[in-house]
Structure 1
Amino acid sequence: MGFGRVEIALRISTHPHHIAPIIPDFRVVERKIHEGGERHGRPAVEASGEALGEELGRIQRRRCHLQEARIGQSCAMFKRLLLVAAVSFAVGQILVFGIRVAQGRSLFPSFEANRRSNHIEDVLRIVNENYVREVDASFDKLSDAALNGMLRSLDPHSEYMSQKEFRDLQAETSQEFGGIGVQIEMRDGSLIVVAPIAGTPGERAGMMRGDLIVRIDDRLVEKISMDDCLDLLRGHPGSQVILAISRPRTGETFERTIVREVITVDNVHDVQMLTELIGYVRIIQFGERTGDEFAEALKVLDNDGMQGLILDLRDNPGGLLDAAVDVAEPFFDRGELIVYTEGREQNSRQEIRSKNNHPRRDFPLAVLVNSGSASASEIVAGALRDTQRAVIVGETSFGKGSVQTILPLRNNDAVRLTTALYYTPGGETIHGEGVDPHIPVTLSAADDRKLTIQRNRMDGLSVEEFVEQFGFEPIPDRQMGAALDALRGLILATESLRVTKRAAGA
């Protein structure tokens, strides 16, 4: 019996394919052998050999059945693992292919961008948690500063705009905002009314040129900036603002409660005949209604007998591209190229052509520009120069010939991003170059400042009042004089050509 126990135990425990060896309880085996021998009337010793063989046979068969079952389970599991592995490999290959295609088509955010954004998030958190002045390290302030820095690093014209800045831009280009309707300027810490706009709440409240606005609601003007003053004066139409006003010429001080309205701002100014034949129009900015305003100005001057026009774009910072095209269009035949843009992609050229349905105006035209003429102003001047439709007088323009696209964000803020460059019809780039005049007339900085004041402040003032308010006598506008001389010559030449043609026809 001792030999049998050891042999069975060694055979089972050393078999290389056993997963979990089954070791029989030999006390149970011996008991069953004795019980079997007694039932058959044989001594246990006699029956022990035969019984032991039978019991071991049963154990061996049971072990084989269990092994077969385990092997079957292992095979099934192995097949399932192979199936899962094959499916996983196929899905993985599809995902890799899809990601590569999406990245190639810019449809999937790059992993590098994700990695860098995580880095930026870490820096924001570290600064927010550790900077010495907690009030300066809020997530809002840090995020705005980071966005501003990122876009400003590209070029001077790309920027992040807060909700307020975005609203201000929309109001500026739409030429409408909620306010009281007065033109103001900050001089020596005082907020001065330049002029009330006709038909506005400010005019109806009796505000006059030269009035000083001392307080806006509960804010003293002397303690806030010009931008803050504008924000306080503007507001939703129908809302009220209380102004404390001082009138130096009479010594009065009084309050006015004014209800804000929608204020419409004109961009086309000073429509007039300078001589019997030469008209004048000044455009201060290009907004949504500028094209319509310019068309109306041309009608007025036509009725006054205009045969030549001076278009003054000095110190015009630009505005909307569509408005610039609207102003240039009357001088182009339908289908003629006015301007085109090109971005960074090879096939990104976009041409903007005239949609003028009327015969183009071919009277002599002079365009005044200076170093303050930028963007949309340069588009108009460049188009008229390249097509020989106008003589350009003054100084080389600013040289801002890039396209900014406004991209609204989810929080009602926006990104203004440079996406292309403008080119004149002749293929000249404006950006960094500007538009050169045919007739250069350069002014000193002092004369330029004085003429700017004259253009914006002379209206409605006598010479004595002007000198008293601004401290200098009006000076001649040499650039305007050169434009007048050029147009007089062109008008004479045009008339001479007409006479010659009529004579030849006769």
Structure 2
Amino acid sequence: VGGRSLPEVNARENVQGLYEELKTFTDVLALVERDYVRPVESQELVKGAIKGMLATLDPHSGYLDPDFYKDLQVQTKGEFGGLGIEITIKDGLLVVVSPMESSPAAKAGILPGDAIVKIEGKYTKEYSLVDAVKKLRGPKGSPIKISVQREGIDGLIDVVIIRDKITVTSVRSRYLNDGYGYIRLNQFVEKSADDIKSGLAKIRSVAPNGKIKGLVLDLRNNPGGLLTQAVRISDMFLEDGVIVYTDGRVETQKQKFFAHARGTEPSYPIVVIVNGGSASAAEIVSGALKDHGRGLILGTQTFGKGSVQTITPLDNGGALTLTTALYYTKSGRSLQAKGVEPDIIVEETKPKDIKGGKHVEYSRYREADLPGAIKNPSVSGGSDDKIKEMNKIESEETDIISINPETVDLNEWYRRDVQMSKAVELLKTFNIFTGQKIEDITKKLIEQSS
């Protein structure tokens, strides 16, 4: 009929609408600069507007100012200054996802789920994550007072923590006797895959005939990290097939990562321990081993961070971190807001209260609890009931954060950490099924426990 097509008309209307909104923004900016009760910097207003815009998206998209972006680059190399905690925002409060092992925060008794209500006496209600990190970090040896709110405890708990240089010991290993080994991965940093190889070599050096009979891979309270390391570590234990794939709006975010036979570990049984503090890259590894039948997953449901963030440097030295895709496991399951469901549920041990050493209940915040969290695109119902029907084992009361796996007496460890004790018990069960594939034995053990 000679007119413009419908898509062209819609595109033009969208552009016109955008221009109108931008005009509204500049009008508001001009009014604030002219009439606000005190002079304000235009740069601060624009920065605040950018933060507000990104806050309408999801919890993991945001603006990184130059100083914070520089700190982030240092952190992924495995060394930075601060308290050693992973935090998020829930209902306007700063909430601890997990303290890093042996960090100042862990030694001071900070627990997953603690809400940081005050920093140095000032309420944190309006703090962004960037603001909070800036406040919490400082020179090594300097004290900082935080006030935390803990479920089941009346009032705030004041804790003074001495800042320290945080060096992420990403991997700890231990020979468990009888040919069995233990690897704990605390975070996915640049050298994590190489450190795991070194840990496995250390176990082999003392194992009979230099052979590993079975492995416990501990991913509890691992907040994630670098995707490249998650892929490399998964590839160590898988011979072929898809490890993980990402899917987003733009073509560059549609990627598949495959396992390769070269360099694959021998086919010994693996039990992976996870909990609500296992997030992101930790969920990629546990999800890949689960879907391939290569590892038996034990513990509690993971955090559920199944989104991909792309960090784009900006001309001012800062950066934009933007959620651009979701992770999917080999079976096509999205991890977003759902996490990895363990094959065998073993409830977590209960940590001690900072005051008086008594045991307390605590509840973790997960991805699905965060404001604006992206919903799982593949939830089909019924999975929560399935989890409840799985084998549940009550645990003794203790604090796994306080256990150093490299030095603790093994019998004491198994007594205090029921998840670890059950993992070793399951590894030994594999020996009953001689001459069968690890994948088939894993299926049988899952069926027996359900």
Task: Determine which of 250, 260, 270 is the counterpart of 1:365.
Answer: 270
- SS of equivalent residue, structure 2 residue 222: coil
Identity of aligned residues (%): 36
Which residue in 2 is equivalent to 1:20? none
- What TM-score, normalized to structure 2? 0.63
- SS of equivalent residue, structure 1 residue 155: coil
The change in CA–CA distance for 1:315 and 1:497 in structure 2 (over 3 A counts) is closer
Residue identity in the other structure for 2:168: V
The change in CA–CA distance for 1:419 and 1:125 in structure 2 (over 3 A counts) is same
Partners of 1:427 and 1:350 lie apart in 2 by 13
Residue segments in structure 2 that go unaligned for 5+ positions in a row:
87-100, 109-118, 125-131, 144-163, 351-359, 364-394, 439-450
In the TM superposition, residue 461 of structure 1 has moved relative to its aligned partner by 12
Partners of 1:430 and 1:266 lie apart in 2 by 26
The change in CA–CA distance for 1:287 and 1:392 in structure 2 (over 3 A counts) is same
Task: Determine which of 164, 185, 188 is the counterpart of 1:283.
Answer: 185
Structure number with higher helix proportion: 1
The change in CA–CA distance for 1:453 and 1:154 in structure 2 (over 3 A counts) is farther
The change in CA–CA distance for 1:454 and 1:443 in structure 2 (over 3 A counts) is closer
The change in CA–CA distance for 1:357 and 1:363 in structure 2 (over 3 A counts) is same
Structure 1 residue 482 corresponds to structure 2 residue 426: no
Partners of 1:299 and 1:448 lie apart in 2 by 37
Partners of 2:405 and 2:330 lie apart in 1 by 41
- SS of equivalent residue, structure 1 residue 323: helix
Which residue in 2 is equivalent to 1:153? 56
- SS of equivalent residue, structure 1 residue 174: coil
Partners of 2:263 and 2:255 lie apart in 1 by 24
Q: Determine if contact 2:68/2:134 at 8 Å carries over to the other structure.
A: no
Which residue in 2 is equivalent to 1:274? 176
Task: Determine which of 322, 328, 337 is the counterpart of 2:228.
Answer: 322
In the TM superposition, residue 182 of structure 1 has moved relative to its aligned partner by 9.6
Task: Determine which of 288, 292, 302 is the counterpart of 2:204.
Answer: 302
Greater Rg, structure 1 or structure 2? 1
| 1:468-487, Cα deviation, whole Å (9 max, x unpaired) | xxxxx997222112211111
Number of aligned residue pairs: 330
Partners of 2:324 and 2:59 lie apart in 1 by 13
Aligned pairs for 1:371-386 (under 5 A) are: 371-386=276-291
Higher relative contact order (CA 8 A, sep 6+): 2
- SS of equivalent residue, structure 2 residue 44: helix
| 1:444-492, Cα deviation, whole Å (9 max, x unpaired) | 76367999984443449999xxxxxxxxx99722211221111110134
Partners of 1:195 and 1:348 lie apart in 2 by 36
In the TM superposition, residue 145 of structure 1 has moved relative to its aligned partner by 2.2
Q: Determine if contact 2:349/2:400 at 8 Å carries over to the other structure.
A: no
Q: Determine if contact 1:315/1:371 at 8 Å carries over to the other structure.
A: yes
Aligned pairs for 1:447-466 (under 5 A) are: 454-459=399-404
Q: Determine if contact 1:386/1:424 at 8 Å carries over to the other structure.
A: yes
Q: Determine if contact 2:269/2:427 at 8 Å carries over to the other structure.
A: yes
Q: Determine if contact 1:307/1:491 at 8 Å carries over to the other structure.
A: no
Q: Determine if contact 1:370/1:397 at 8 Å carries over to the other structure.
A: yes
Which residue in 1 is equivalent to 2:369? none
In the TM superposition, residue 280 of structure 1 has moved relative to its aligned partner by 1.0
| 1:232-280, Cα deviation, whole Å (9 max, x unpaired) | 326xxxxxxx879xxxxxxxxxxxxxxx9x98532112x1023332211
The change in CA–CA distance for 1:320 and 1:359 in structure 2 (over 3 A counts) is closer
The change in CA–CA distance for 1:452 and 1:426 in structure 2 (over 3 A counts) is farther
Aligned pairs for 1:116-135 (under 5 A) are: 116-132=21-37, 134=38
The change in CA–CA distance for 1:342 and 1:141 in structure 2 (over 3 A counts) is same
Residue identity in the other structure for 1:457: S
- What TM-score, normalized to structure 1? 0.56
| 1:366-415, Cα deviation, whole Å (9 max, x unpaired) | 11111111110110000000000000000111111010000111111111
In the TM superposition, residue 110 of structure 1 has moved relative to its aligned partner by 4.7
Task: Determine which of 325, 329, 337 is the counterpart of 1:424.
Answer: 329
Residue segments in structure 1 that go unaligned for 5+ positions in a row:
1-95, 186-193, 198-208, 211-220, 235-241, 245-259, 464-472, 499-506
- SS of equivalent residue, structure 1 residue 288: coil
Which residue in 2 is equivalent to 1:141? 44
Q: Determine if contact 2:308/2:326 at 8 Å carries over to the other structure.
A: yes
Partners of 1:357 and 1:114 lie apart in 2 by 55
Select between 439-448 and 374-383 the one with higher mean Cα deviation.
439-448
Residue identity in the other structure for 1:303: S
Which residue in 1 is equivalent to 2:297? 392
The change in CA–CA distance for 1:117 and 1:228 in structure 2 (over 3 A counts) is closer
| 1:160-189, Cα deviation, whole Å (9 max, x unpaired) | 111122112111112134x6x99799xxxx
The change in CA–CA distance for 1:184 and 1:362 in structure 2 (over 3 A counts) is closer
Q: Determine if contact 1:336/1:353 at 8 Å carries over to the other structure.
A: yes
The change in CA–CA distance for 1:111 and 1:175 in structure 2 (over 3 A counts) is farther
The change in CA–CA distance for 1:121 and 1:337 in structure 2 (over 3 A counts) is same
Q: Determine if contact 2:103/2:166 at 8 Å carries over to the other structure.
A: no
The change in CA–CA distance for 1:280 and 1:414 in structure 2 (over 3 A counts) is same
Partners of 1:243 and 1:403 lie apart in 2 by 35
Aligned pairs for 1:15-414 (under 5 A) are: 110=15, 112-132=17-37, 134=38, 137-177=40-80, 227=133, 231-233=137-139, 265-269=168-172, 271-305=173-207, 306-333=212-239, 335-345=240-250, 349-414=254-319
Q: Determine if contact 2:400/2:417 at 8 Å carries over to the other structure.
A: no
Partners of 2:323 and 2:166 lie apart in 1 by 30
Q: Determine if contact 2:274/2:297 at 8 Å carries over to the other structure.
A: yes
Residue identity in the other structure for 1:476: R
State the superposition RMSD in angstroms. 4.2
Partners of 2:185 and 2:398 lie apart in 1 by 16
